[in-house]
Chains A and B, each alone.
Chain A
Amino acid sequence: MAQRPQPRFPEPNTEPYWEATKQNELRYPVCTACETIIFTPRRHCTDCGSQDLEWKVSRGEGTVYTFSVVRQNRMPGFVDLGAYSVAYIDLDEGFRMLSGVIGIEDPTRDIHIGQRVRVEFEEQEEGEYPIPLFRPI
C-alpha cells in the first residue's frame, strides 16, 4: 500500500477538499456571487473578493494538461516509489489541479498530454486522507 505524505491541519482553505476525499469526492469551491472556481482552494473569491463560496462535487473526469515523471527524488514517502508521475489535470468543470497519473505500465511511455483521465482515491497505509490521483479512461 502507498504511503504518500498526508496534508496537515489546521489549514482552513483546503480542509473541506481533504475531508471530502474520505467520501471519495473531489470537491472544489465556487463563488456564489460570480461563479468563479477558486482552485487551489481558498476562502475568498480571487475574482471579486467575496467570501460567500459553495463547495461543489466534481465528476472527476478531465484531461492531462502537462506532466513529468520523477526519476530522482529525496522525499520521504516517494524515495521507494520508483519512477512516478506528477501532472496538471484540467477537470471538465473548468479547474486545473496538481495530481498524478497512475494505473499505467510505464509512466515514461504511457502518459501523454491530452489524455482523458478519471479520479481515483488512493488509500494510504497511514493517515485518514486518501490521495486523489488519476487513471486513464
Chain B
Amino acid sequence: MNQDRQAAIVGIHEYPSRLTRGVSAMDIKIDCIRTALEDAGLSWGDVDAVYDAGDGEAGGGLQLSAYLGLRPNVIDTTQVGGSSYEFQAAHAWRDIAAGKCKVAILSYGSTAASARWAIGTGSMQRPGAANWEANMEIPYGTTLIANYAMVKQRHMHEYGTTTEQLAGISVATRRHAMRNPDAVQAMTDLEFVGVNEITTADVLDSRVVADPLHLLECCMISDGGGAVVIASPEVARNTRKPPVWIIGSGEAIKYTESDGDITVSAGAQSGPVAFGEAGIAPDEIDIAMIYDSFTITVAVCLEDLGFCKKGEVGDYVAGGRLAFDNPDAPALNTDGGGLSSNHPGMRGIFLLLEATRQLRGESHSQRPDARLAVAHGNGGRLGSTHTGGTVILARD
C-alpha cells in the first residue's frame, strides 16, 4: 500500500434535510462548510483553497470565494457533473502535496426537489441550447434515464444480465437506508410509496420508467448538500477526528464512439490508475461508495473498477450481496445511496462523506474495522458523454 500521507479528509458534514423549502443552494453550502470546519476543529480563516462546481450561484470558485469572504491561494472550479467532487478531492490532494495550500474546502448545495427539477425525465440538454451535441440529441427525445437504460439493455444482451440480479443493488442499498435516520426522513418527506426494506420482487414489480429500467432502479431527486475539508498532514495531526488519507486517484472521460462498447465506462480508465497509485487491489477494499444514479451505473462501474470481470456483475450483486454485514464482499453505498438516501443532482460529494464515516467508524451501517474505501463518481450520462473519478481512501 502507498505509505505517503500527503493529504487527508479531516472534516465532513452532510446537510440532513432532503426537502428544504425556502433555503437556497448557497445557504446549504455555507451551512455545510461551517459545520465541516467545526467537525475538523478548524476555523473559517484556516481555509486557503476553494474547490467549487458552480452549484451555488454559478461563477464557481470566484463567486463562492468572494461570497465566503476568503482570499484562497488555490481556486479550482472543476465541473464534471456528479463526479466533480472526486476530481476536486484528487486536485486538493495534488495541490496540498505540492505545497500550494494546507486547508481545502469542497462544498455542494442543491434544491432540486423543491424546484421540481425533472433531472431524469426532462430533456438531457437545456431547452434552446444550440451546440453540436444538443442538436443531435434533442430531436430524438432521449431522457437521461433512457440514456442509462440503453447501457443496461446492451449489458443484458451481451452478458445475459437480468433485472432480477441487478435488483440486488437496490435491495442492499435500501437496507442501508433504513438504518440511516436522515435517509428514512428523506423517503418520508419525498413521499416514497413504501418507506421499508424492499425485495427483488418489489424491484421487478415497480413500473418501468424507460425500458429496461424500473422505478426502484432509479435514484430519487432530493434537495441536499455537504462539505468536505481536506488538509495537509501537519494540519491533520491536530484536527478533532482521525484523518482519512487520500492514497490514490484517477480521472477519465468517455463518449460515444462508432466502435465503442457502451457497457464500459470511464471507470475502466480512472480505476486502474487510482488503484495503481494506492498500491492496493480491489479485493482489499472494505467500502465501495459507487455512484448510484441507477443500478446499471453501479453494475458497470463495479466491473470497470475490477471488483469482478466484465459481464459477471449480475452474480456479484444478486440478492443484496453487497450489504454492510456480509464480510465476503465490500459494503456498497452504506448511507443508502442515491437510490434511497439523497440525490440532489451531483452525488459525488456524498461518496466521500460516507467513505469517511466508515473509516472513522461513524456509519449507521458500520463495516467492522473498515480500513480501505473507494469513492467512485460517475458524471454526465453513462450511455454517452460521461466522466469517471476514482478516489482511494485509507485510515491510519
Of the residues A39, A68, A73, A100, contact of B149 by C-beta under 8 Å: A68
A11-B133 Cα distance, complex, nearest whole Å: 10
A72 close to B209 (CB less than 8 A): yes
Would you give the shortest CB distance from B285 to chain A, in whole angstroms? 30
Please give, as numbers and ranges, the residues of chain B lying within 8 Å of A108 by CB-CB distance.
Answer: 208, 211
Complex: chain B residue closest to A6, CB-CB: B139
B136 close to A68 (CB less than 8 A): no
Would you give the shortest CB distance from A137 to chain B, in whole angstroms? 20
Among B140, B145, B151, the one with the most A-chain Cβ atoms within 10 Å of its Cβ is B140
Total A-B residue contacts, Cβ distance less than 8 Å: 136
Would you give the shortest CB distance from B232 to chain A, in whole angstroms? 41
B130 close to A98 (CB less than 8 A): no
Please give, as numbers and ranges, the residues of chain B lying within 8 Å of A9 by CB-CB distance.
Answer: 130
Q: Is A55 an interface residue (CB 8 A)?
A: no
Please give, as numbers and ranges, the residues of chain B lying within 8 Å of A68 by CB-CB distance.
Answer: 142, 145-147, 149-150, 153, 210-213
Binds A, one of B20-28, B38-46, B97-105, B253-261: B253-261
Please give, as numbers and ranges, the residues of chain A lying within 8 Å of B207 by CB-CB distance.
Answer: 71
- 8 closest A-B pairs by CB: A8-B130, A68-B149, A13-B132, A66-B154, A68-B146, A69-B211, A7-B135, A14-B135
Q: Is B68 an interface residue (CB 8 A)?
A: no
Among A5, A10, A39, A68, the one with the most B-chain Cβ atoms within 10 Å of its Cβ is A68
Classify chain A: how many residues form its interface, as a range.
35 or more
Q: Is A45 an interface residue (CB 8 A)?
A: no
A124-B292 Cα distance, complex, nearest whole Å: 37
B258 close to A100 (CB less than 8 A): no
Would you give the shortest CB distance from B139 to chain A, in whole angstroms? 5
A interface: dominant SS: loop
| Known pairs A5-B138, A7-B136 / 15 extra A-B pairs, C-beta < 8 Å | A4-B140, A8-B135, A9-B130, A17-B136, A69-B211, A72-B143, A74-B122, A75-B122, A75-B123, A81-B141, A87-B150, A88-B256, A94-B258, A95-B258, A131-B139
Please give, as numbers and ranges, the residues of chain B lying within 8 Å of A98 by CB-CB distance.
Answer: 136-137, 140, 142, 256, 384
A70-B151 Cα distance, complex, nearest whole Å: 14
A5 close to B210 (CB less than 8 A): no
A6-48 contacts to B (CB < 8 Å): 6-11, 13-14, 17-18, 37, 39-42
A81-121 contacts to B (CB < 8 Å): 81, 84, 86-88, 90, 94-100, 108, 113
B209 close to A66 (CB less than 8 A): no
A42 close to B210 (CB less than 8 A): no
Classify chain B: how many residues form its interface, as a range.
35 or more
Among A14, A72, A96, the one with the most B-chain Cβ atoms within 10 Å of its Cβ is A72
Please give, as numbers and ranges, the residues of chain B lying within 8 Å of A71 by CB-CB distance.
Answer: 207-211
Would you give the shortest CB distance from A18 to chain B, in whole angstroms? 7
A76-B121 Cα distance, complex, nearest whole Å: 11
Q: Is B281 an interface residue (CB 8 A)?
A: no
A39 close to B130 (CB less than 8 A): no
Known: A84-B141, A96-B260. A11 touches B146 (CB 8 A): no
Among A84, A88, A95, the one with the most B-chain Cβ atoms within 10 Å of its Cβ is A88
B141 close to A78 (CB less than 8 A): yes
A66-B148 Cα distance, complex, nearest whole Å: 11
A73 close to B143 (CB less than 8 A): yes
